[in-house]
Structure 1
Amino acid sequence: MAAAGAAGVLLSPGAQVFGAESPNERPVFATIGLRNQGWGITSKSLGLADFVALADVDANVLGTNVERVKERQGKAPDAYKDYRKILDRDDIDAVMIATPDHWHTKIAVEAMLAGKDVYCEKPLTLTIDEGKLIEKMVKKTGRVFQVGTMQRTESSQRFLQAIALIRAGRIGKVKKITCGINGTSGSPEIPVASVPAELDWDFWLGPAPKVDYRALPEMRKGYGGGVPLYSNCHYSFREWHEYAGGKLTDWGAHHVDIACWALGEENNGPSKVSPVSYSLPVEYKDGYPLVHDRYNVATKFRIQVDMPNNVELIITSEGDNGILFEGTDGRFFVNRGKITGAPVEALKDNPLPEDAIEEVYGGKVSSNHTANMIEAMESRKQPISDVWSHNRMLEICHLSNIAMRLGRELNWDPAKREIVGDDQANTFLARENRKGFEINM
């Protein structure tokens, strides 16, 4: 299989072939982090793997999902609050990680060192240097590592078709790409509150700084329901730089990924990231929020990214959610629900070659992200969403956040993977884990 970035690269000869000791020849999985997307990726995978263990620091979430898995597969998985008990088991081939972002790197690295293949939800990292560490550990351990950017497999092939159109020259030379990733809203003042009895708040914080639990009594409805509408935990973690990167590393991790893939720049990066306009919901000084009882990620933004070959990449909170590709000979728009524009309409009379989609994908297209990972576990090659291409794309999203936090454009060296001539900005490429939650290597 030949996917973007490092895909198609054979792993170390000593790497364990999945299922070699599994009597039913199905891989044995465990999931760490079970709210929302954690259950989503687990439920999509139950027909493909045996889930023998689940872990979550919220006892209610853990119990609910143990029962869900039991109902689906006929046998209850073991339940743990501490994910390390999963990593200690030698009967587990792979782990799926769907914790808040600030936990991803620690668990992923420790899982690889424990001999597990890894599926980790996007965005893979909280900082740029975390991505470099994960790349190093994938090479060192020879593990298969799938990042959960499912637009590469599970959006009716619209994004693969978009990339095929670009590669076939249907809009000429690409000049501009606009990624609409929606904005967000700030929050009211969120007071310190009693920690729910079922939640281990200190363990939830983990590598992040120790702070009080905050929540308002109003409950969230719909997707993500069952938790406070405003808090510094659970569903709301994406609104805090301490745990995530807002829309830039949420939707941005999807659409910027497709943009870079279309450009063929999965192993390269920008030269400059400029915050054209943006709104932060609280006051900042030297890149850090001065107010700690409200959401702090950017609510509105327009970021200009100077990509190789004079391509302009715009990341914006305005307009439709999706990607607009503009070239010298035309333009088209694609998102999860549609792909529209004159180059798309022209396919009726001038279709793409029959193998165009598979050419982009690097083989037969999988409709399930976990299935693609299991194929990689069998072949010991990296899957469609590999860590190298993901990190290169995610660097753009991280740099966008750093630029807004500091209020200035950033020049980037994609070879050295560091910010040029700005020592203060370079301090944001890493963050030290809280004492007691260092990565065990």
Structure 2
Amino acid sequence: MENKRRLFLKNLGLAGAATTLMPSVFAKAPEQISYLERQYSASINLKTLKIALIGAGGMGSADTNTALEHKNIELVAVCDLYDGRLDDAKKRWGSDLYLTKNYKEVLKRSDIDAVIIGTPDFWHKKISVEALNAGKHVYCEKPMIHSIDEGQDIIKAWKKSGKIFMVGSQGMSSLGNEKAKELLAEGAIGELNYAEGFWARNSPIGAWQYPIPQDASRETVDWQEYISISKDRPFDPLRFFRWRNYLDYGTGMAGDLFVHLFSSLHFITNSIGPNKIAATGGLRYWEDGREVPDVLLGMFDYPDSEQHPPFNLSLRCNFVDGTSGSTYLKLVGSKGSMDVEWERVTLKRNAGGESDDPFFAEKAKEGSSRPDRKKMVSPLETVYTAQEGYKGAHYDHFANFFNAIRDNGSVAEDPVFGFRAAAPALLCNESYKKNGFIGWDPKNMKEV
């Protein structure tokens, strides 16, 4: 299936040949290469798959819209604890939908092949395990777990069920990640020694200040069901509609955003994770009663392994970015670096020029009898971009999920991979709370 779905450059001949050109060529604009296209050949088994959505908030609805872009996919049921979302589901996807506030009623239906779980994080594990036990294939939004001790429960239920389980970090299926993986394996940046990731937002909605419906009340929200696996509290619309701000229900910036960066990094490097974790940060702007930082910094040690040399990772997240927000993952090696985005990779290779730092320039003169030293040469830069018409990582992630169901295949992010991406993210919260380093055993997937 992988060969059918992807067309890559056969080699890095162009990038390799670039090193023989004169430096002046590279002082110009970076070379743009439209390098990839996706072959959207679906499984030959086009059996109609019937799906249900559990948790019809922003991400669950976006997932469902993307799933329905695929052929032979039928939405038959939607579950949510808020009346307004059920009403909206009927308007979006049809009046024939089965609507309920009880997810167990969805799992009992024999006509449902797979469920999309778009609930708040603290419900992921319970519904995932019950869905697998009920014989359903599962697409569960990241971070898959709300606490570290939930990971093995999902893995055991998945292995026992024989069903397909996909974790929803959509970047895992991106062309950018796939090209970066290829470039790293072919030595384009030399030996990896450092990586960094950055995720920033500047809008209130991006900072989890989600709108509160005017009709939010005990009459329209099943609050008792919502908190039935958490602490008993009086009805609070903020804790229901802005759940990411509270640790009883969400996993903070790390669980929401760092986990995407871990997923991409682990995919590109074939890593199983770090063994040392530390985090710091604070509540710098959104003083709205939230319990989690709006600025978070993480540091991670990746040990020497069969998959990669030892390297360090730093991650940053900022919820009040005055430059409109940005996201990237950078991998730095002995010969160059890569900026990795979902639809683009910018490869920079050392051109052998000298530093423009005045101190180093003076030191260089001391060690040379030549009166004139060559000037600094700009790095060799190549930008690889997805071809026009690319449908995106979100679409491809669901293509992988549906093809795996139809062909009894594998997915890009199963529960083992998902747990290894989620665990170091969630341990950032523990490090922040404890103000200290935390050890992690990535092979056996347990805290040290």
Partner of 2:270: 264
Within the candidate set 14, 25, 39, 2:61 is matched to: 39
The 1:158–1:94 alpha-carbon spacing in structure 2 relative to 1, beyond 3 Å, is: same
The answer to whether 1:168 aligns with 2:186 is yes
Q: Distance in 2 between matches of 1:147 and 1:121?
A: 6
Q: Secondary structure at the match of 1:255?
A: helix
Partner of 1:26: 48
AA aligned opposite 1:182: A
The answer to whether 1:65 aligns with 2:89 is yes
CA deviation vs aligned residue, 1:199-255 (integer Å, no higher than 9, x gap) = 11121223221223335xxxxxxxxxxxxxxx2222x21121111112211121211
Partner of 1:370: 398
Q: TM-score, normalised by structure 1?
A: 0.73
CA deviation vs aligned residue, 1:41-86 (integer Å, no higher than 9, x gap) = 111122431111111110110111122111xxxx621111101001
Give 4+ residue runs of structure 1 displaced > 4 Å after superposition: 183-187, 343-348
Q: Distance in 2 between matches of 1:294 and 1:214?
A: 12
Partner of 2:408: 380
AA aligned opposite 2:317: S
AA aligned opposite 1:51: L
Partner of 1:323: 329
Partner of 2:156: 136
Shift of 1:137: 0.6
The 1:406–1:281 alpha-carbon spacing in structure 2 relative to 1, beyond 3 Å, is: farther
Shift of 1:335: 2.4
Partner of 1:428: none
Q: Secondary structure at the match of 1:172?
A: coil
The 1:306–1:88 alpha-carbon spacing in structure 2 relative to 1, beyond 3 Å, is: same
Q: Secondary structure at the match of 2:239?
A: coil
Q: Distance in 1 between matches of 2:62 and 2:442?
A: 34
CA deviation vs aligned residue, 1:277-310 (integer Å, no higher than 9, x gap) = 311579xxxxxxxx9x821112212211001222
Partner of 2:314: 314
The 1:94–1:178 alpha-carbon spacing in structure 2 relative to 1, beyond 3 Å, is: same
Partner of 1:210: 232
AA aligned opposite 1:125: I
Asked whether the 8 Å contact 1:30–1:94 carries over to 2, the reply is: yes
Within the candidate set 426, 433, 436, 1:405 is matched to: 433
Q: Distance in 2 between matches of 1:158 and 1:418?
A: 30
Q: Secondary structure at the match of 2:60?
A: helix
Partner of 1:299: 294
Pairing 1:319-358 to 2, within 5 Å after superposition: 320-336=326-342, 338-343=344-349
Q: Distance in 1 between matches of 2:208 and 2:134?
A: 40
Partner of 1:359: none
CA deviation vs aligned residue, 1:69-117 (integer Å, no higher than 9, x gap) = 11xxxx6211111010011111111111101111111111101111111
Asked whether the 8 Å contact 2:208–2:244 carries over to 1, the reply is: no
CA deviation vs aligned residue, 1:161-192 (integer Å, no higher than 9, x gap) = 122211111101111110112378699xx9xx
Partner of 1:436: none
The answer to whether 1:115 aligns with 2:135 is yes
Tell me which structure has the larger Cα radius of gyration: 2
Q: Distance in 2 between matches of 1:77 and 1:194?
A: 23
The 1:366–1:186 alpha-carbon spacing in structure 2 relative to 1, beyond 3 Å, is: closer
Partner of 1:14: none
Within the candidate set 160, 170, 176, 1:158 is matched to: 176
Q: Distance in 1 between matches of 2:344 and 2:216?
A: 45
AA aligned opposite 1:33: G
Q: Distance in 2 between matches of 1:374 and 1:35?
A: 22
Partner of 2:388: none
Q: Distance in 1 between matches of 2:394 and 2:257?
A: 22
Shift of 1:338: 4.1
Partner of 1:178: 196
More strand as a share of residues: 2
Q: Distance in 2 between matches of 1:208 and 1:345?
A: 54
The answer to whether 1:253 aligns with 2:259 is yes
Q: Secondary structure at the match of 1:296?
A: coil
Pairing 1:416-427 to 2, within 5 Å after superposition: 416-420=444-448
Asked whether the 8 Å contact 1:281–1:297 carries over to 2, the reply is: no
The 1:406–1:280 alpha-carbon spacing in structure 2 relative to 1, beyond 3 Å, is: farther
Q: Secondary structure at the match of 2:53?
A: strand
CA deviation vs aligned residue, 1:350-385 (integer Å, no higher than 9, x gap) = x99xxxxxxxxxxxx995322211110122223112
CA root-mean-square deviation: 3.1
The percentage of aligned residue pairs carrying the same residue is 27
Q: TM-score, normalised by structure 2?
A: 0.72
AA aligned opposite 1:315: L
Asked whether the 8 Å contact 2:188–2:336 carries over to 1, the reply is: yes
Q: Secondary structure at the match of 1:103?
A: helix
Asked whether the 8 Å contact 1:281–1:295 carries over to 2, the reply is: no
Q: Secondary structure at the match of 2:277?
A: strand
Q: Distance in 1 between matches of 2:447 and 2:67?
A: 39
Q: Distance in 2 between matches of 1:366 and 1:58?
A: 26
Shift of 1:314: 0.7
The 1:271–1:366 alpha-carbon spacing in structure 2 relative to 1, beyond 3 Å, is: closer
Q: Secondary structure at the match of 2:56?
A: coil
The answer to whether 1:279 aligns with 2:295 is no
The 1:176–1:211 alpha-carbon spacing in structure 2 relative to 1, beyond 3 Å, is: same
Asked whether the 8 Å contact 1:181–1:247 carries over to 2, the reply is: no
Asked whether the 8 Å contact 1:104–1:125 carries over to 2, the reply is: yes
